[in-house]
């Protein structure tokens, strides 16, 4: 692979911690009025993040760390063993617990076989796949690991398909193919629904706030997928601008930002990540 996997994880986490400030604020006007520091990190505006502070992750980033630490310790991805670790982590977790988490924990407590994820259509799980590259010797293994990982908490056909698509794009970009070519090459064999998402994201030329809010700025794959394609297509060579414009658009900015970040870091290396974001981030790889 072209890049060190830890660099891609770093890029993904940098996107998450940078997104924390405006995350889950659905009014671009409110975000603009808050006068966030767009050169660095910020404490969250949204009440849902509780006691989180500048340099922390959202609950998405915290779960990336959970997966990364598991893989570092075990040098494998065994879905059943990982979900046991994840369940223990979540039982004492102090951050936000979304519906996918609470439903999956209930399924595990009722001794359902892994994968036994929720039916959640949330897109954010797609941005947590990068650590799986550490234990995937080829693309087929990576795609298999991604499907197991995603369905373990989000057993939803649309989400699984979206994850497969972006996993292929990530593998292709990290193997040296350009972002736009990788998106075009990957867009075969999927449902018409997903192909329409790609088409809509590529064709929209509106300014970012308008485009993201037209697609839908919330957590659902329908909306977040198109917004992510839009960002990759319009800011594919400028990481910092992509992250800032994404955050200013509001909504579930971290879900979109993590995927954009992992793919852009795969293309351009960790040098594109602003040093100030890395230095202010509380977790060190």
- pLDDT of res. 121: 97
Residue in this structure with the two tokens 């941005």, named with its chain if needed: 127
The pTM is what?
A: 0.97
- What pLDDT does 150 receive? 98
| The pLDDT value given to residue 235 | 94
φ and ψ of 45, to 5 deg:
-80, -35
CB atoms within 10 A of CB 113: 9
The crossing angle, in degrees rounded to 10, of helices 79-91 and 59-74 is 130
| Average pLDDT for 195-206 | 98
Give buried/exposed letters for 192-205 (b at 16+ CB in 10 A, else e).
Answer: eebeebbebbbebe
Contact residues for 20 (Cβ-Cβ < 8 A; gap 6+):
41, 42, 43, 44, 49, 52, 54, 56, 57, 58, 254
Two tokens at 130?
Answer: 């990068």
At 237 the pLDDT is 86
Return the pLDDT at 269: 95
H or E, element range at 64: helix 59-74
Evaluate if residue 1 carries a pLDDT over 50. Answer: no
**pLDDT tens digit string along 139-149?**
999 999 999 99
The pLDDT-based confidence of 3 (bands split at 50, 70, 90) is low
Q: What is the pLDDT of residue 125?
A: 98
Residue 15 clears pLDDT 50, i.e. is over it: yes
Sign of CA dihedral 152, 157, 162, 164: positive
Superfamily for the 5-44+55-280 domain:
ADP-ribosylation/Crystallin J1 (1.10.4080.10)
Instruction: State the average pLDDT over residues 151-171.
Output: 98
pLDDT at 2: 57
Domain boundaries, the chain: 5-44+55-280
Nearest partner of 232 among 186, 276, 193, judged by Cα: 186
- pLDDT value at residue 188: 87
Between CA 191 and CA 241 the distance in angstroms is 31
Digit-coded pLDDT (tens) for 52-80 = 999 999 999 999 999 999 999 999 999 99
Burial class (CB in 10 A: 0-12, 13-18, 19+), 104: buried
Q: Quick one: what percent of the chain has pLDDT higher than 90? A: 97
**Mean pLDDT of all residues in the chain?**
97
pLDDT in tens, 91-114: 999 999 999 999 999 999 999 999
For the residues 230-256, what does the mean pLDDT come to?
A: 96
How far is residue 243's CA from residue 255's CA, in Å, rounded to a whole number?
A: 11
């Amino acid at each position: 692979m072209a890049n060190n996997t830890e660099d891609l994880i770093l890029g993904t986490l940098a996107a998450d911690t940078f997104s924390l400030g405006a995350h889950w604020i659905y009014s671009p006007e409110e975000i603009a009025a808050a006068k966030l520091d767009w050169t660095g990190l910020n404490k969250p505006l949204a009440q849902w993040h509780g006691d989180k502070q500048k340099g922390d992750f959202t609950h998405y980033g915290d779960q990336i760390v959970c997966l990364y630490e598991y893989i570092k310790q075990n040098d494998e991805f065994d879905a059943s063993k990982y979900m046991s670790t994840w369940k223990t982590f979540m039982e004492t977790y102090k951050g936000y617990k979304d519906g996918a988490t609470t439903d999956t924990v209930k399924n595990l407590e009722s001794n359902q076989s892994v994968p036994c994820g929720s039916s959640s259509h949330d897109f954010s799980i797609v941005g947590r796949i990068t650590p799986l590259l550490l234990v995937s010797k080829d693309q087929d293994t990576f795609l298999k690991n991604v499907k197991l990982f995603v369905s373990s908490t989000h057993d939803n056909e649309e989400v699984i398909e979206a994850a497969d698509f972006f996993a292929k794009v990530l593998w292709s970009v990290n193997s040296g193919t350009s972002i736009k070519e990788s998106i075009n090459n990957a867009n075969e064999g999927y449902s018409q629904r997903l192909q329409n998402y790609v088409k809509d994201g590529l064709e929209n030329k509106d300014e970012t706030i308008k485009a993201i809010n037209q697609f839908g700025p919330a957590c659902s794959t329908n909306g977040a997928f198109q917004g992510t394609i839009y960002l990759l297509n319009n800011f594919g060579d400028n990481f910092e601008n992509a992250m800032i414009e994404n955050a200013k658009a509001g909504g579930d900015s971290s879900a979109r930002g993590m995927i954009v970040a992992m793919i852009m870091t795969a293309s351009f290396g960790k040098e594109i990540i602003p040093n100030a974001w890395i230095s202010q981030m509380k977790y060190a790889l």
